[in-house]
Every structure is written in C-alpha cells, then in structure tokens.
Amino acid sequence: MKVQSSKVTKRRLFPETLELIRQCGNARAAGNRELTSELAKHCREAISEDLRERRAAVMAEAAEAGEGIRKGTVIAFRKVMEKIIRECYSDLFDSHVHLWSYEIK
C-alpha cells in the first residue's frame, strides 16, 4: 500500500477534524487517558466522515467532467475509441453509396 504525505492527508480533512486531532495529541501528551480515548473516538468518526464526503465529491466531479477517478485524468483510450466509432458511423450514414436491394419473393 502506498503511503501518502501528510500534506495530501491534510488537504482531505476539514480544519475542524485537524483541530480535533491536535486536541487529542495534547490530551495524550498531558497523560489524560479518558479524554484521549474520547477524543480519539471522535477523531476516527470525523476522519471517516471527511473522507466519505471527499470521495463523493471526487466521484461527482469526475463524472461531470467525463474523467477517470484515478488521479483525475481523462481516460484517453476510451475517448479516442468513441471518436473513431462516431466518425466511422457518421461517414457511413452520411455517404450516398447505393446499396443493392433485394426483392424478397
């Protein structure tokens, strides 16, 4: 599993969650086990919610822009194939080539 930098992680979390993490660290440093336990529980819930919201936002943004969700890049191969198919069928239906018609008896 690839480890992400703390800068990337901080961008994904809301400032309120980061403040909660700081408070948890301060409580741990002070040796207050009960407060640390309670704050850690709230931190886990807040982080899960932040990441869930971030994931939903990324999915919506990618779907709106027609991009892939990995690194937010356009799926080039699919776009190229769609263009080729569209051009092929457009040329086919726009052409005035006479096709033989057979009469069914």
What does the pLDDT look like over 19-33, one tens digit per residue? 999 999 999 999 989
Where residue 57 falls among pLDDT bands split at 50, 70, 90?
confident
Averaged over 25-42, what is the pLDDT? 91
**Strands of the chain, DSSP E:** none
**What b/e sequence results for 79-101 when a residue is b if at least 16 CB atoms lie within 10 Å of its CB, and e otherwise?**
eeeeeeeeeeeeeeeeeeeeeee
> What CA–CA distance (Å, rounded) separates 32 from 52?
30
pTM of the model: 0.54
- Give tens-digit pLDDT for 60-102: 877 777 666 665 555 556 677 777 777 777 766 666 555 566 6
- Do 23 and 39 meet the contact criterion of CB atoms below 8 Å apart? yes
Token readout for 60 is: 């919506």
**Residue matched to tokens 């779907």:** 63
